[in-house]
Structure 1
Amino acid sequence: MTESDADLLAKEAKYLSPSARIGFFPLVVDHGNGCWFTDRSGRRFLDFHSMACVLNTGHNHPRVVGAIQKQADRLIHVNSAYMTHEGLVTLAARLAELCPGTVARRVAFGLSGSDANDGAMKLARAATGRSRIIAFRHSYHGNTYGALSMSAVSLSMRRGFGPEIPDVHHVTFPDVYRMDGDITDNCIAELEDLFATRIPGDEVAAVFIEPVQGDAGIVVPPARYLELLAELCRRHGILLVAEEVQTGIGRTGAWFACERFPVAPDIVVCGKALGSGMPVSAVIARAELMDAWSAPGHVFSTAANALCCAAANATLDIVEDEGLLENAVRMGQRLRAGLVALAAGHEVIGDVRGDGLMLGVDLVTDRATRERARTVAASVVAAAFDRGLYLTFLRGNVLRIAPPLTIGPDEVDLGLEILGRSLDDAVAGRVPEADIAAVVGW
């Protein structure tokens, strides 16, 4: 006898750790296809979330499914600490070639963006002989101890878990919408003052930066800031790490968002979308840096298994063959134009920002004060869910708009229509209190 959704959710509440679920909706998904997924009752949802920027190729892309099935018939896994397989070697070579810059690159594989960030931290320390790491306030890098120590977006993810990894220091990320004055010069001056007064620049191993801050609320730094940051790193011999777990594999309309930098980063970290839902991550670094560590410095028994590599290679094929980088740009422009049009009729929208199909809608109680409209955000998400549009919010008030890169114009327009009606309901107070209360958010 099939268990009801209510029974499954009750069983989950009994057996699953509460640390593993962010409260949005009591939703039990049955299957997915493209930009849509369906619950067990047969209700379809247009996915404007991509499962947190994991499914860039959409749900169950047939080429990913076919690659996994074909690989499963031949080989599921070998431990890459002891031997190799064709898919692993192929994937490593492709990622090294796709990474920005002309220097030779090498790759270390893992299972998640979190362990990849830990690996990048270890590699930076080993390659430079320095211990200190610079990260940014409101950044999110993951939940393993190194990634957790670099993250600075939420107390709930770190409370009670100390001590964290030592020698990690946080500085201000330039937020064009929420900061006033000459934010680029002020943020660079903060770093220079840090090096002059508290942390010698020649003791810093690396600066970790999300080229677009994700969980901070889709915050895009000024291009000039990235240029000055790269120069500052060069001057002090600091490695520049582009944390591309959310932004990588085409999300912003380029293979990696760090292509906006004037120089190629020394290390690139990717995960999430690399395997189209299969657990695989990568640290991609200048080849000579990789000479600084040796086995088993960063190796996992199940990393880069044959199924994950098959899915990842298929993912790269799809992005290339189906023009998903170009589609991310085109559909991103269409989405942004629609969101800007919604802003013209909704004072609650304070800002629309982002790159490609990684967009944020900053909801405010007042455009002059820019106070975060937290209740409105929850109301919009709840109302959209009731109409069959799935999206979430960040920082308590920023709608995260991140559909699969396979999305077409009709789906973009449908999502915008639902979002507009949901905004109307939220502002008018027509969303039931019980629905709003159920949306805890991130």
Structure 2
Amino acid sequence: MRVGRVGHARYATGDHRERSRVRTVEQHRHDVEALVRDALADRSPEVLRVDPALLAAEPERYRRRVLAAPLAAPIDLPPFANSQMDGFAVGAADLGGAGPVDLVVVEPIPAGRTGPRLLPGTAAPIMTGAPVPEGAVAVVPVERALPAAFPEPGTAARVVLPGDVAPGTFVRAAGSDVAAGAVLHEAGTVLTPARWGVVAAAGLATVEVLRRPRVLLVSTGEELAEPGSALAPGTIHDANGASLAAALGDVGVDVRVRRVSDDARALLAVVAAAADDVDLVVTTGGVSAGAYEVVRDAFEAAGVVFSSVAMQPGGPQGLGRLRLEGRAAALPVVCFPGNPVSALVSFEAFLRPVLQAETSAGTPRRAWSAPMAEAAESPVGKHQLRRGRLDDDGRVRFVGGPGSHLLSAHAAASLLVHLPVGVDRVQPGDEVVVWALDD
């Protein structure tokens, strides 16, 4: 095999097929996003009860759900004119003068009850939120009354109020927040705490929300052992199942996790068993060009394309629609490398952005430029993603080396540091793009 050179990049001229399959990070992200959006486009709605007890008992089920259909207000909000203050309800006949008015105090109106029609020459003690009685047009706060207190219920009393009060003062008109028939929330709206409050205030018993994406996450490898189990020689505990299940959960995905050894038939059986209940399959491991590449062996002939992305870590990737025997519709599949940091970085670079956008759970990763605190080199022709933190001066320092097995360094980092293709060396003070990992 002859080796050629272009600029600083060395390549094997006899392996044109492999070179033609190298993709940019942007190309692969675009295709992952297109696949996932298409897979999630026809999610059926889910009906949720508007119940404070369920919101408290099942917070993850209710948090930041996305409306599947618009909601219209069945009633005015507020549904009736009510008092904005604790005070005295007064009628139009007793207002408008320059001086104070001396009025007979009638029965009080607490919140949750209605009072009789208010007659001229009278004032009704009224509490915040109580319905403004017929005949009343304004509320005078108790602090402006003489005496500045409510009389004991059932006692004969009078009150002196200012007469220069405009109609509508401290009265919340019916429908002043939302009119009956108006749209409360459009389809696609994320139900935040305040929006849940509006839904409840409108008296709606249920809402239709988009079903959360369902993902089958499969860790592969003969060497993987259950966390907490004793390790046999040559085995390691499965970190990918835990880390990616947590990562998927953070963006509002319902995840089921499986582990498969280097057995292509077993892998296909696990996927087939879940195919009707999931929108997407995500695998880790078995995607390189070596021996015992179980994911590639099982999926490559059935519609999934495996390629190399010009990225470090996380170069080997797979993507496509898996054809399963006996199933008409192919199943969307995204395949990540098996090294723990490679898998997590692949998730951040390719899958998290589109899932977060589809579910509105979590927050988009903040991206900005920051100066480097140290020098570093990046592989020629690769988009390198290093782990880092900001120092006290706001400069980027790497956490650990570039190795794809350094999971504890990744866990200690708060940033992904981007060294794109064309940047093979950075010096202190050079600006680099970083993504926040701890939002």
Q: Same fold (TM over 0.5)?
A: no
Structure showing greater Rg: 2
TM range (shorter): under 0.3
Relative to the length of structure 1, the TM-score reads: 0.24
* Bigger relative contact order (CA 8 A; separation at least 6): 1
Higher helix share: 1
